[in-house]
Amino acid sequence: MRDTRPLVVVVDGHGGGMGKALVARLRERLPQVHVRAVGTNSAATEAMLKGGAEDGATGENAVIFNVGKADFVVGSVAILMANGLMGEISPRMAQAVGDSSAIKVLIPANRCGIRIAMGGEQPLRRYLDDCVDLIAAELQT
């Protein structure tokens, strides 16, 4: 039987710390969504699974395939950037994220060289909470 819940694909790399924290917030606040962890490496996927993701996949093809199925794609703004996350985001991954018809909810990350004109810098936990708030608001419409 096909899962009809909204699919939230969380994309992360490195050790998956940001993704893990985001998955935990999503599971706590939005239990009606299916949260899928998609890591650029196995450590990131494993961390997000420990954070409560229902399932997960790893690698370039996993990112490309899953963002195409998603209702929401969530992660650092660097997932839209070829060679983002210190080279973990391939040009094909970035293009797939950008081409996805999913609603993209992106978290600012100063390390990737992108600045977003939105006011002063906030702690990561605030961005994670804002991310979940945006998804909740979209689910209400």
Residues belonging to the chain: 141
pLDDT tens sequence for the chain (141 residues): 678 999 999 999 999 999 999 999 999 999 999 999 999 999 999 999 999 999 999 999 999 999 999 999 999 999 999 999 999 999 999 999 999 999 999 998 877 777 778 778 889 999 999 999 999 999 998
25 lies in some domain: yes
138 lies in some domain: no
> What single DSSP character describes residue 3?
-
33 lies in some domain: yes
141 lies in some domain: no
CATH number for the domain harbouring residue 90: 3.40.50
Number of domains in the chain: 1
137 lies in some domain: no
122 lies in some domain: yes
Structure tokens at 4: 């009809």
52 lies in some domain: yes
Give, for 116, the enclosing helix (H) or strand (E): none
Range of the domain at 90: 7-132
As a whole number of angstroms, the distance between CA 16 and CA 120 comes to 25
User: Closest Cα to residue 132, out of 62, 27, 54, 37?
Assistant: 27
Give this prediction's pTM.
0.94
Give the CA radius of gyration of the chain: 14
For 135, the 3-state DSSP assignment is helix
